[in-house]
Structures are given as structure tokens and as C-alpha cells.
Amino acid sequence: MAADGMFDRRRLLTRAAALIGAIPLAGCQDLSTDPTVLNVLGLAEPVTRRLQRLILSGNGLAPEYTEADISKAFKPNGTTEPDDQEYQDLLGGQFKDWRLQINGLVERPLTLSLEDLRGLPSRTQITRHDCVEGWSCIGKWKGVPLASLLDRAHLKPQARYLVFYCADTLGASLDAAKYYESIGLEDAFHPQTLLAYEMNDAPLTVPHGAPLRLRVERQLGYKMAKYVMQIEAVESFAAVGAGKGGYWEDRGYEWYAGI
């Protein structure tokens, strides 16, 4: 019958399709980590970033919570005890000799002590910290809005990013590197972006980044550099570290950590 002839061809087609479908599975494990494949998959990041920027146009604030919501156990992550000698010396002197440098593409480079920062107008916020691993903790942060410091230092027109250099070295042996991070100007001037020196009404502890850490509330935890030593305004972060804009970014994580 005509119909049966059709079915035979269809059957052949079906089997061929099933066979072709099975071939890529064999190479799946290699494909999953192939650099070219990963670069193609990475194309999703700018799409996500642009769309979220569009949605967040204006200064959409991250939700803030009440004292009752503060997590009893706030998990520290990444470096929790920097063993770098420079940091240990600063810690030994209770950070009296610690200075924050703000430089790079700025009109007026700044050098600030912890006392200087504590003397500036501050903001206090209770926010949720979302780790890239999946957990969340709520904490209360007090610090200087980054925008106010940038207004004082006055960015040059070419400045597009801020790079945060940290005191800690993270990773084992060959992979070890100084932690650093970078953010764009939308986040730098966002009202909830702080250089925090207090957490839950007490000076920042060492596991949480003493004496100073960054808070970027609309992104994931790894953006919020701890043990901050220097902030450099740059046009591009291609020359810093491995060029991806941060310690974790250099290890494959997204620069835009809004998801």
C-alpha cells in the first residue's frame, strides 16, 4: 500500500535520526568543558547583563530587612583568615597603619585611615547576601557610601570601572592569587554600595573582611571584596590579573553576577 511505503521510509528516517542523536552524547564530557563551547555559552552573560540593566534602569534598591531577620549564623566564605604577612602586620596593629588608597583615573587620589572613614557620613542597611553557591544570609552593614568617596576623588571622564585590590591571597599553590574584584559605574554610584566597616553593630571581623569590605547588594557575594586595600579607577580591567575583572571571573565565573 502507498501508506505502508511511506511508513517504511518514515521508519528509516526515524532510526537514522535516533542514531544521529546518539553520536554527540559520546563526546558530551569533552564538549562540556571545551573552551570554544564555553565561549559560545558565555554569550548569554552580556544578554542577561543588558536586560537586567534595562530592567534596573534607575536605582532599584535591593530589599532591606528588619533586625529580626538577621541571620544567627552568617557564613563567611572565600578567605577567612588571610595569612599574608602584610595583612597580619596590619591586624597586629589593629589596623592603625591600614590605609585605603583611591587612585587611578581620578582627579584627587585619596588616602584614608579607618578613623577617616568612620568620621564620614555613613549608611546602615540590613540586606541579604546571596552566595554563588546558593545559600543566603541576612546581615546589617554600616559603612561609607562609595559614591561619596568617588565624588571627593572625582573620576576622570575615561573611568569606566573600579578595581578593588584586596590583602588576601586565595587558592592553593599554583592557582594562588591576590583577590581582586571590579564593578561598573552603575553599581559604584548605587546608594546601597558601601565600603562597610561594621557588621551587625560590631567592627567587621577578620572572617568577614576586616577592616573594610565592599557591599554591592544587587550582585552575588563574590563581587563583595573583603580586606580592601586599594580602589583604582580604570578604563579597562584587561591588564589586571588574568583580565576578566576579578579573582573568580579569572576562574570562569561571570563578571556580571546579577544572577
Partner 1 sequence: MTASAVDHSASAPSAVYRHSLLVRVTHWINVLCLTLLLMSGLQIFNAHSALYWGQASDFAKPILAITQREKDGREFGATEVFGHTFDTTGVLGLSGPPDNRQERAFPAWITLPGYQDLAIGRRWHFFFAWILVINGIVYLVSGFLRGHFRRDLLPSGEQFRHVGGSFVEHLRLRFPKGEQAKHYNVLQKLAYLVVVFVVLPLLIVAGLAMSPGIDAAFPWLTSVFGGRQSARTVHFLAAFTLVLFVAVHVLMVLVSGLWNNMRSMITGWYRIDSTGETHGG
Closer of 14 and 88 to partner 1 (Cβ): 14
Closer of 132 and 185 to partner 1 (Cβ): 132
Q: How far is the CB of 57 from partner 1 (least distance, A)?
A: 9
Q: How far is the CB of 23 from partner 1 (least distance, A)?
A: 14
Closer of 125 and 232 to partner 1 (Cβ): 125
Q: How far is the CB of 182 from partner 1 (least distance, A)?
A: 17
Distance separating the N- and C-terminal Cα atoms of the chain = 57
Q: How far is the CB of 21 from partner 1 (least distance, A)?
A: 9
List residues near partner 1 by CB under 8 A: 1, 3, 6-7, 10-11, 13-14, 17-18, 29, 32-33, 38, 40-45, 47-48, 52, 55-56, 60-63, 65, 69, 71-73, 75, 128, 130-138, 217-220, 248, 251-254, 257-259
Taking the C-alpha atoms of residue 200 and residue 193, their distance in angstroms, rounded to an integer, is: 17
Closer of 38 and 156 to partner 1 (Cβ): 38
* Contact partners, residue 145, CB within 8 Å, separation at least 6: 121, 122, 123, 191, 193, 194
Closer of 4 and 115 to partner 1 (Cβ): 4
Q: How far is the CB of 112 from partner 1 (least distance, A)?
A: 28
Q: How far is the CB of 72 from partner 1 (least distance, A)?
A: 8
Closer of 58 and 157 to partner 1 (Cβ): 58
